[in-house]
Chains A and B, each alone.
Chain A
Amino acid sequence: MALINYASREINAKIVYYGPGLGGKTTNIKYIYTKLNPSVKGKLISLATELDRTLFFDFLPVDLGTIRGFKTRFHLYTVPGQVFYNASRKLILKGVDGIIFVADSQIERFEENIESFENMLDNLTTYGLSLERIPLVIQFNKRDLPNITSVEELQKVMNVNNKYPYFESVASQGIGVFETLKEVCRHVLKALS
């Protein structure tokens, strides 16, 4: 959870992009990196395979600015989506303050979304955490592709009763990327007070 240092007047919070492999988590974080002003972002670190698949995580620190004297910074992480990297996913979730679940809207990826969502809940449980305490925002990605599941169908399996805020996105074009991030940041900061 967030680190609040009252002496150096700093707040650091951790936001994790979760979701199935090739769903667009790294694309989100790379888009954010390319668009943010250099003065508010740190170095983008990607621990990836030679084929550019996330092996351990991507990491990008983003400075929000000074809020009532506290220098506030978000640490953005992605997890590796591929099923067999669960040990890494679990490690990245440690100390999480907010989660963005990036779902792949393509019909053939429907089941993977559900599996990944359940895997996220299981991994949170191992840290004694749940979505009752950790803010979650869902992003339905790849909405520009022709062969996609309707948002209503996706909502039925991941977001019954609109419990969590959600956005439609095309991360490769930046559509919905900042909206999703802003929403989770808002909830994380609210949870601090």
Chain B
Amino acid sequence: MREGINIFEEDFWAITDVLNRLLQGTNSRTILLIDKAGQLITSVGDTAALDTSSFATLSAADFAATSQLATLIGEKEFSTLFHQGEKENLYVCLVADRVILAVIFDMRATLGLIRVKAKNGAAELEKIFEEIFNKLDKDTSASSEIDADFTKAAEEELDKLFGF
């Protein structure tokens, strides 16, 4: 199984559409989609005050650590996590075994509704990601946009960033 994820335009908009509907349907604040390695795929809703990189990394770590806890008590994985705060709460569930869906919500939303709608949303996303993974398994070559010229331009940027 390929570990990398390449998201192309049409898949990206299909994913964003599912997330936006979930956001509106649940009255939640922010929804993030994160790969299990901790990289943010996309987010919808209010992210202005959120460090999304850190959030993605820590969510993936949280999920990974909790999965290990699950195996210690004989479960394959805990498919959902819920963290309750005073004002903000976090609901996390797994999509297509490889992607983490994180929903941040406050008192305007209810956990029950989030659970139901997130389950439906995850099922829709699962179909999209299965197609993405199928495409990736069939075609392992990178897009023509990431070519030798890209590598050359990247080297120039590296020189600039590190100053030597």
Question: Are A182 and B53 in contact (CB-based, < 8 A)?
Answer: no
Q: Is A109 an interface residue (CB 8 A)?
A: no
Listed A/B pairs (29) with beta-carbon separation below 8 Å: A3-B4, A3-B7, A4-B4, A6-B6, A6-B12, A6-B145, A8-B12, A12-B39, A40-B161, A42-B53, A42-B54, A57-B61, A62-B161, A67-B153, A68-B153, A70-B150, A95-B35, A95-B37, A128-B1, A129-B3, A178-B164, A179-B164, A182-B158, A182-B162, A189-B150, A192-B151, A193-B142, A193-B146, A193-B148
Closest B-chain residue to A12, C-beta based?
B39
* Interchain CB contact (< 8 A) of B12 among A5, A11, A178: A5
Q: Tell me, yes or no, whether B134 is within 8 Å of chain A by CB.
A: no
Expressed in whole angstroms, the Cα–Cα distance for A87 and B64 within the complex equals 10
Mark contacts of A126-154 with chain B using CB atoms, 8 A cut-off: 1 yes-contact digit, 0 otherwise. Answer: 01110000000000000000000000000
Q: With A56-B61, A182-B162, A186-B158 in contact, do A14 and B38 touch (Cβ < 8 Å)?
A: yes
| B157 on interface, CB distance cutoff 8 Å | yes
> A75 at the A/B interface (Cβ < 8 Å)?
yes
- Is there an interface contact between A7 and B154, defined as CB atoms closer than 8 Å? no
User: A1 near B: Cβ within 8 Å?
Assistant: yes
Whether A64 contacts B64 by the Cβ 8 Å rule is no
Complex Cα spacing A103 to B158, Å: 24
- Considering the chains assembled together, what is the distance between the CA atoms of A12 and B5 in angstroms? 10
The secondary-structure label for the interface of chain A is mixed
Interface: A158 (CB within 8 A): no
B149 within 8 A of A: yes
Q: What chain B residues lie within 8 Å of A7 (beta carbons)?
A: 7-9, 11-13
Choose one: A45, A94, A185; the contact of B158 (CB below 8 Å): A185
Q: Is B97 positioned at the interface, with any CB of A under 8 Å from its CB?
A: no
Binding site for B on A (CB under 8 A): 1-8, 11-12, 14, 40, 42-43, 45, 47, 56-57, 59, 61-62, 64-65, 67-70, 72-73, 75, 87-88, 91, 94-96, 127-129, 178-179, 181-182, 185-186, 189-190, 192-193
- Pick the contact of A67: B35, B143, B154, B164 (CB < 8 A): B154
Shortest distance from the beta carbon of B24 to any chain A beta carbon, whole Å: 21
Inter-subunit contact B157/A72 (CB<8 Å) = yes
> Which chain B residue has the least Cβ–Cβ distance from A182?
B162
B47-102 at interface with A (beta carbon < 8 Å)? 51, 53-54, 57-58, 61, 64-65, 68
- Measured CB to CB, the nearest residue on chain A to B35 is A3
Collect the chain B residues with CB atoms within 8 Å of residue A87's CB.
68
Assuming the A-B contacts A14-B39, A56-B61, A192-B150, are A64 and B51 also in contact, with contact meaning beta carbons closer than 8 angstroms in the complex? Answer: no
User: What residues of chain A lie closer than 8 Å to B54, measured between beta carbons?
Assistant: 42-43, 45, 59, 61
CA distance A5 to B70 in the complex (A): 32
Q: Whole-angstrom distance between the alpha carbons of A73 and B38 in the complex?
A: 13
Contact of B146 among A42, A91, A192 (CB under 8 A): A192
